[in-house]
Amino acid sequence: MTESIENNLLKHSSSFFSNKNKHLKYLVKEEKRFKNFTLSAKNIFYDFSRQIIDDKTFELLIELAKEKKILSKFNDMVNGEIVNKTENRPALHTLCRNTGKHNIFSKEIKRVKEEIFEFSQKIHNNKILSSTGKNFTDLCILGIGGSSLGANFVIQALSGKKKLMNPYFIESCDINEFANFLSSANLETTLFVVVSKSFKTTEVLLNEKFVKNLLDEKNLDYKKQIVRITCKNSPGDKPDEALKIFHIFDWIGGRYSVSSAAGGLPISLVYGFDVFEEFLKGMNEFDNHVLESDYKQNIPLTAALIDIWNFVYLKFSNLAIIAYSKLLYKLPAHIQQLYMESNGKTINENNEITNKTSMVIFGDTGTKSQHSFFQLLHQGQVVPVEFIGILDTDYQNLNYTNNELWVNLLAQADSLATGKESEILFKKCNGNRPSSIITMENTQPENIGKLLSFYESRTVLAGFLFGINPFDQFGVEAGKSLASEKRKIINDILYKNTNTKNISDSDDFYSKIIKNKKILYS
């Protein structure tokens, strides 16, 4: 009987703990190591030579991907097959950047893009004015999770470019976020974009209500200063309630929606539609890299296979994303949601319990993070790291500062791999801590598009490898459902003085201290 690839990988993984010669300090010195464990495509360079793998590991992982027909599944997704089986729908976010076969949804994507172009042009050319007849200067996006994290990252990543409007994001119902916005924006010349697929997300609806009341208090017509991005026929799809409605579709998941209207409208308003088009071009190019490359040359697939290797076989439960560019400082938060909401599940596609699920993702920018949590990375639990470096900046006369970022990035990667010997035990660093390096030439829109396509594709491919559905999020829905029940209990106590005999001690306690705004000791 032929032994399964999974069993072979399991046996092979144990050799890295029992054989001291498979420590990274020896592996990185092997002949042709760098050449054999680096990939390049579309001006993205992926270096995984400091991962705890060898030739046999890579061969077994490729065999696993082939056995599971991972690239065929990705191709099915791009071409509109029902890959989101729990919700019986396709996952066609890639169609937004013209990847894959044109189908019945293509006309809708084209229509929305044309509407974004026309609307953003009119805003920039002062053909659409605020309720007092003034030019719009500020843009405030009301969204949460997938409705804002991707757009927020892209707008920040492109902030070296000239802004046509000043962007603000309100991503929770915390009034402090509004206070921050109101302290610097001009309410009279602010355009509000409300983003919610279902238009049932409580935080977003609460924020829209707050904005309406705010505008009413200032005698400003909210219908002339609010636009909505939502699904067709959702409760918010009411043209008489907003300046304009832009549609997003149920076959585009929120966390994959940055190339749809959810990202396209904010990006176009802040930087211009041409910048959004460049961004989409980059996404399309890297989507096609996934579709056209074979198993061994496929960068997102390789990254997904390394995820599986590190998490399932080497038992590393975290991944740190460290970008050595301030422009990318919002990337970890977006990828955290993208990957963990997609793959953080313990039920596989066969409706069976599995322990093959997402690692925990966190991150920050370098070199700042070196002076905070890198202590743990060097001497605490083993956390694989993904470094991101940028070769060129918009400040040519200050490139020496970027050179220093690269010095630190490479030093950290090598130090994690090789460690540091010392006779004094508490000064010793054991090394053998894996990392990869992603290199980009610059942060122009096209390259930011390629980077996001890499992460979206890698997330989907990892989901397929885990054997789970990376497109649903029933855990999130469960939390929302319980919040509705909890809201009724607490509001009844706060505003109706309802009898508390039938509620839990916890709900009774917290309702009372919320009402009194003071901790009440029993």
Q: Each residue of 271-316: pLDDT tens digit?
A: 999 999 999 999 999 999 999 999 999 999 999 999 999 999 999 9
Domains 7-82+293-468 and 93-279 belong to one CATH topology: yes
What are the strands, taking DSSP E only, across 51-148? Answer: 138-142
Instruction: Bin 247: left if φ > 0, else alpha if -120 < ψ < 50, else beta.
Output: beta
**Pairwise CA distance, residues 463 & 159, whole Å:** 32
Give the residue-averaged pLDDT of 163-189: 94
Closest of 167, 137, 146, 143 to residue 155, by C-alpha: 167
Say which residues have a Cβ less than 8 Å from residue 52's Cβ, sequence separation at least 6: 16, 22, 24, 27, 310, 314, 432, 434
pLDDT above 70 for 103: yes
**CA of residue 84 relative to chain centroid, distance:** 19
Each residue of 334-380: pLDDT tens digit? Answer: 999 999 999 999 988 888 888 778 999 999 999 999 999 999 999 99
Closest of 81, 103, 182 to residue 140, by C-alpha: 182
> Rounded to two decimals, what is the model's pTM?
0.95
pLDDT for 255? 96
pLDDT for 104? 83
**Pairwise CA distance, residues 340 & 334, whole Å:** 10
Helix (H) or strand (E) holding 149: helix 149-157
Closest of 149, 111, 115 to residue 254, by C-alpha: 149
pLDDT for 12? 96
> Which tokens in the block code for residue 286?
């890297």
Q: Please list, residue by residue across 13-34, b when 16 or more beta carbons sit within 10 angstroms of its beta carbon and e when fewer do.
A: beebeeeeebbbbebbeeeebe
Q: Characterize the bridge pairing of strands 44-50 and 38-41.
A: antiparallel
- Lowest-confidence segment of 185-194, 370-379, 392-401, 422-431 by average pLDDT: 392-401
Contacts 24+ apart (CB under 8 A), 338-342: 338/150, 338/255, 338/256, 338/455, 338/456, 338/459, 339/455, 339/459, 339/462, 341/145, 341/146, 341/255, 341/473, 341/476, 342/253, 342/255, 342/459, 342/460, 342/463, 342/470, 342/471
pLDDT above 80 for 498: no
CB 282 within 8 A of CB 447: yes
pLDDT for 169? 97
**Pairwise CA distance, residues 295 & 61, whole Å:** 10
371 counts as catalytic: yes
**Pairwise CA distance, residues 522 & 507, whole Å:** 14
Amino acid at 388: I
Please count the other Cβ atoms lying within 10 Å of the Cβ belonging to residue 478: 10
**Pairwise CA distance, residues 170 & 195, whole Å:** 11
Give the residue-averaged pLDDT of 515-519: 86
| Maximum C-alpha span of the chain | 78
Give the residue-averaged pLDDT of 41-70: 97
Say which residues have a Cβ less than 8 Å from residue 98's Cβ, sequence separation at least 6: 280, 284
pLDDT for 328? 97
Give the active site residue among 25, 480, 512, 515. Answer: 480
Contacts 24+ apart (CB under 8 A), 402-406: 405/324, 405/325, 405/366, 405/367, 406/324
CB 365 within 8 A of CB 300: no
Each residue of 13-50: pLDDT tens digit? Answer: 999 989 999 999 999 999 999 999 999 999 999 999 99
Give the residue-averaged pLDDT of 117-122: 98
Rounded to 5°, angle at Cα 469 from 466 and 472: 140
Give the active site residue among 32, 371, 496, 518. Answer: 371
CATH number of 7-82+293-468: 3.40.50.10490
Helices (H) and strands (E) in the chain, counts: 18, 11
Residue 41 forms beta bridges with which residues? 44
113 counts as catalytic: no
> Which tokens in the block code for residue 168?
């603000």
Domain boundaries, the chain: 7-82+293-468, 93-279, 476-516
**Pairwise CA distance, residues 26 & 320, whole Å:** 24
Answer yes or no: CATH 1.10.287.3510 is held by domain 93-279: no
| pLDDT level of residue 1 (50, 70, 90 thresholds) | very low
334 counts as catalytic: no
| pLDDT level of residue 396 (50, 70, 90 thresholds) | low
Say which residues have a Cβ less than 8 Å from residue 488's Cβ, sequence separation at least 6: none
Amino acid at 167: P
In three-state secondary structure terms, 401 is helix
Q: Characterize the bridge pairing of strands 435-440 and 44-50.
A: antiparallel
CB 217 within 8 A of CB 234: no
CB 92 within 8 A of CB 251: yes
Give the active site residue among 341, 386, 446, 456. Answer: 341
Task: Find the radius of gyration of the CA atoms of the chain.
Answer: 25
Cis amide leading into 367 (omega within 30): yes
